[in-house]
Amino acid sequence: MRILVVGSGGVGDALARIAVARDFFELLVMADYDLARAEATVAAASARRPGESRLVAARVDASSAASVTALAREHAITHVMNAVDPRFVMPVFEGARAAGADYLDMAMSLSVRHTDRPYAEVGTKLGDEQFAAAKDWEAEGRLALVGMGVEPGLSDVFARYAADHLFSEIDELGTRDGANLVVRNDAGAEIFAPSFSIWTTIEECLNPPVIWEKDRGWFVTPPFSEPEVFDFPEGIGPVECVNVEHEEVLLMPRWVDAKRVTFKYGLGDEFIGVLKTLHALGLDRTDPVTVKGVEVSPRDVVAAVLPDPSTIGPLMTGKTCAGLWVTGTGKDGQPRSTYLFHVVDNEVTMRDYGAQCVVWQTAINPVVALELLATGVWSGAGVLGPEAFDAVPFLELLAAPAPGGYGSAWGQDERTPQEAG
């Protein structure tokens, strides 16, 4: 397997640090618009394994399918791994196909709100552009594995596992994401510093959330709707979660039978307040505005003035939890409520990988998926989500101790069915 990773930011850098310990690939090209950043990633990852020579750095323009294609052909790439903002999904997706390579990403093509009734009717959904090309990928015998991060990604693997092994009938697949992460400056004061790309966070949180119901299909609600307090495991505790637009709701119903699919994110009052203010001021806009004769995107300005998520690890404490709350009828015919989850401690990922926990948790899952594809345990053609594959090999490889596995345990928390109400 010869892999091209497009993007050497926080997630791409963590991906390289994780992958370098594994033997399933022949070449790993770390590419970025900023060549120096790709070179820094290659140096840091290669240093983790004495004698390592499989990693190389390159420059790529993720906004150009032709640039991706040319770089993939230059290195005889078999798999293109997309690790850049979702605004670049389509050029990277199309560039991989033109190069005859398989493709993976962790976020899907962007949605577009309904022009006239954005909070009442669905417009272009996340991933619609990619699924429109599914027959072409299938006809060419090529695989585009989409949404293979942590959320989406591991949460979707959990959905497949729950359907196959835990439930005979599923009422709701509810992705629930929460954390108790705190970022402090050098003086010890708590600061506002998102642990993931603010560009992506704004896109997810201010777009109309999508919900899926079997009798209704996909529909939208206003941002931050249907708040609920969810109790997260391993000391994180209760966190208020709200509806947010996310790929799981667009992926899970395609392969897993459920009555309802939702995604709720534990943002917190301060974060929601900041997002609402950005929206009120127009700072969430992506269309350029002219400032003293220079055209600039307001959202890019916000991203530029906030700390880079890849650099805040040393200032961060706490844990992050990604998981799927499944309710319905168990295999024994009795009501069941189960939370499948993956908790990561920032102290551990900083100590072992030099990567903050949110980007590390996102990065480990596509590496596991790539290994399953390299060994032939997973295979397929077309545009497929993680739900289209057997969940057990993935979960076993993720949790198995190193060096055989990745040594990252996941959990299963049984709750009383009444909690589902």
Q: How confident is the model at residue 419 (pLDDT cuts 50, 70, 90)?
A: low
Q: Kindly report, residue by residue over 30-64, the tens digit of the pLDDT.
A: 999 999 999 999 999 999 999 999 999 999 999 99
Q: Kindly report, residue by residue over 272-284, the tens digit of the pLDDT.
A: 888 888 888 888 8
Quote the mean pLDDT of the chain.
Answer: 93
Task: Tell me which residue has tokens 């979960």.
Answer: 395
Nearest C-alpha neighbor of 310 from the set 269, 365, 349 = 349
Domains and CATH numbers, the chain: 2-105 (3.40.50.720), 154-357+406-420 (3.30.360.10)
pLDDT of residue 62: 98
Q: Kindly report, residue by residue over 150-176, the tens digit of the pLDDT.
A: 999 999 999 999 999 999 999 999 999
Kindly report the pTM of this predicted structure.
0.92
Residues 6+ apart with CB under 8 A from 103: 79, 80, 82, 92, 93, 96, 97, 142, 143, 144, 145
**3-state SS class at 28:** strand
407: left (phi over 0), alpha (psi -120 to 50) or beta: left
Lowest-pLDDT range of 110-114, 158-162, 249-253: 110-114
- Does residue 421 register a pLDDT over 50? no
- Does residue 420 register a pLDDT over 60? no
User: What CA–CA distance (Å, rounded) separates 262 from 212?
Assistant: 7
Q: Kindly report, residue by residue over 98-107, the tens digit of the pLDDT.
A: 999 999 999 9
User: What CA–CA distance (Å, rounded) separates 241 from 250?
Assistant: 19
Nearest C-alpha neighbor of 358 from the set 219, 136, 194, 190 = 194
Q: Kindly report, residue by residue over 142-153, the tens digit of the pLDDT.
A: 999 999 999 999
User: What CA–CA distance (Å, rounded) separates 322 from 320?
Assistant: 7
